[in-house]
Amino acid sequence: MRMCLTSDLGGYYTGALEEGRDQFGLKGDFVTSPEISQVFGELCGIWYVAEWIAQGRQSKGVELIEVGPGRGTLMDDMLRTIQRFPAMASSIDAVYMVEASPELRVAQKNLLCGEDAPMTESKAGYHSVCKYNALPIVWTETIKSIPIAPEKMPFIMAHEFFDALPIHAFELVYVPATQTATPSPTDTAAPSTKTSHPTLQWREMLVSPTPPGSTHESLHTPASQSRDTPPPDFQLTLAKAPTRHSLYLPELSPRYRALKTTVGAGALLEICPDASLYAADFAARIGGSPQHPKPKPSGAALILDYGPGDGTVPTNSLRGIRRHRRVSPFAEPGLTDLSADVDFAALAESATRASEGVEVHGPVSQADFLEWMGIRARVDMLVRAIKEAPGGGGAAAAAIDKDKRVEDVRKAQARLVDRGPGGMGKVYKALAIVPENEGRRRPVGFGGDVVV
């Protein structure tokens, strides 16, 4: 997944697509919530304003950090909204964008700073000046390049970021007592797993080349994923012996270990170590950590992505997406978007384990989050503004144009909060990491309200 998406040799986000083809939008491979409606980004901006108010209206030291910012649409909508609250807008020291793609960095700079704005490079990253309040913007390839300072109040956004991080997949297998289960010869650091009695052991699903002459039929590619694509170049195969990852990762959480007794042989498991690292980093910035002490927790992280919200562990969720259709994730590597379901419970575990100064709320469905954030009221305001705006051209043409714009705004709202099977309002979830307060205050959008 890492190689296919962000390899400097031509990953999906780093140069593999033909010139002029965009990953986002109707002409690309997928449409994200910020591209559907400006209201999504506006409500996210309001969420950070509410957290800033709830945490005492810090007058300086606020940082906006977005990981995986896409084309910059979400940050643009958030910044435009925050400008309506001058006290918070003036408290922002800098905007950080964590982006691996040179092409997307340029697109973000053009939107947030202007096409004529220069972009300079330093050891810290790439720099420009935002069109809002002349804020400095810094682009980095990893969040580790952003300094951690105890006096800073970081507001972190991760929208459809975690689903693109690489996963490890495992299957629980029955190992007879007579079988000698040892690591592969090249895996010298893994301990021996010889057993004198039957046992259950995790085996990793490895990416392997498909046999020469393979077809969709021989590889059992689902019919829905085999249209207009060549046979996959790779396939998942079960490792014949333990690997380092299979010996270590499934033992990290009680949720994973419980699968041996609740499911038994045949149990499947997906784990994303990178997701845990990012969640731990968010928590350390907000609540402090032994490595980075913070006298008073401050800031917040908002994570919006898709995955199970009931604590279950994702399985068989690796998917390929191209031109708005599901395709095999193993066909045309580098030209196909790859993603996997996010394990929100694992994010919560990692965050609270990394810092005693944070607590986690959610996940809640995107529909609930947006409804609680006031999407209906904001859409009603937009509709009223469209209807009251002076029309150009003839009266009949202006009326038709306004009706079309109102219809588009309403359709976008309905799509964002659609609770039907496969609907964005149901599939997508929201998770919040905020300063620990012994449960006295729930964040807005997660059952709480703003106390002024």
pLDDT, one tens digit per residue, over 265-314 is 999 999 999 999 999 999 999 999 999 999 999 999 999 999 998 989 99
Average pLDDT in the chain: 88
Model confidence at 407, pLDDT cuts 50, 70, 90, reads very high
Q: With the CA atoms of 288, 293, 298 and 300 taken in that order, what torsion angle do they form, in degrees rounded to the nearest 10?
A: -20
Q: Looking at the domain covering 2-165+274-368+425-435, what would its CATH class be?
A: alpha beta
In what order do the strands lie in the sheet containing 199-209? 234-238, 199-209, 168-175, 268-271
Question: What is the three-class DSSP state of 249?
Answer: helix
Residue whose C-alpha is closest to residue 13's, from 56, 71, 57: 71
Query: Per mean pLDDT, which range of 225-229, 272-276, 391-395 is the poorest?
Result: 391-395
Q: What is the pLDDT of residue 337?
A: 87
pLDDT, one tens digit per residue, over 128-138 is 999 998 999 99
Higher local confidence (pLDDT), 16 or 153: 153
Q: What is the pLDDT of residue 321?
A: 83
Model confidence at 49, pLDDT cuts 50, 70, 90, reads very high
In this structure, is the dihedral angle defined by the CA atoms of residues 149, 150, 155 and 161, taken in order, positive or negative? Answer: positive
Residue 187 has pLDDT above 60, yes or no: no
What average pLDDT does this structure show over 95-104?
Answer: 91
Residue 21 has pLDDT above 80, yes or no: no
**CA 90 distance to own-chain centroid:** 28
In angstroms and rounded to an integer, the radius of gyration of the C-alpha atoms of the chain is 24
Please count the CA atoms within 13 angstroms of the CA of 207 that sit on its side-chain side: 15
pLDDT, one tens digit per residue, over 335-351 is 888 999 999 999 999 99
Model confidence at 451, pLDDT cuts 50, 70, 90, reads low
Model confidence at 224, pLDDT cuts 50, 70, 90, reads confident
pLDDT, one tens digit per residue, over 52-82 is 999 999 999 999 999 999 899 999 999 999 9
Q: What is the pLDDT of residue 230?
A: 82
Model confidence at 189, pLDDT cuts 50, 70, 90, reads very low
Task: For residue 115, count other CB atoms closer than 10 A to its CB.
Answer: 8
pLDDT, one tens digit per residue, over 81-96 is 999 999 999 999 999 9
Q: What is the pLDDT of residue 188?
A: 46
Q: What is the pLDDT of residue 94?
A: 96
pLDDT, one tens digit per residue, over 199-211 is 899 999 999 998 8
Q: What is the pLDDT of residue 324?
A: 63
Please count the CA atoms within 13 angstroms of the CA of 204 that sit on its side-chain side: 18
Q: What is the pLDDT of residue 396?
A: 65
What are the two backbone dihedrals, phi and then psi, of residue 24, each rounded to the nearest 5 degrees?
-105, 160
Q: What is the DSSP string of 70-124?
A: TTSHHHHHHHHHHTTSHHHHTTEEEEEEE---HHHHHHHHHHHT-TTS--EE-SS
In this structure, is the dihedral angle defined by the CA atoms of residues 378, 380, 381 and 385, taken in order, positive or negative? Answer: positive
pTM of the prediction? 0.90
pLDDT, one tens digit per residue, over 132-165 is 989 999 999 999 999 999 999 999 999 999 999 9
128 close to 115: Cβ distance less than 8 angstroms: no
Residue 27 has pLDDT above 70, yes or no: no
Question: What is the three-class DSSP state of 350?
Answer: helix
Q: What is the pLDDT of residue 190?
A: 41
Distance CA 337, CA 326 (A): 10
pLDDT, one tens digit per residue, over 347-373 is 999 999 999 999 999 999 999 999 999
| % pLDDT > 70, the chain | 89
Give the residue extent of every domain in the chain: 2-165+274-368+425-435, 168-272, 376-420
Q: What is the pLDDT of residue 169?
A: 96
25: tokens are 């939008």
The helix-helix angle for 73-82 and 102-112 (nearest 10°) equals 30
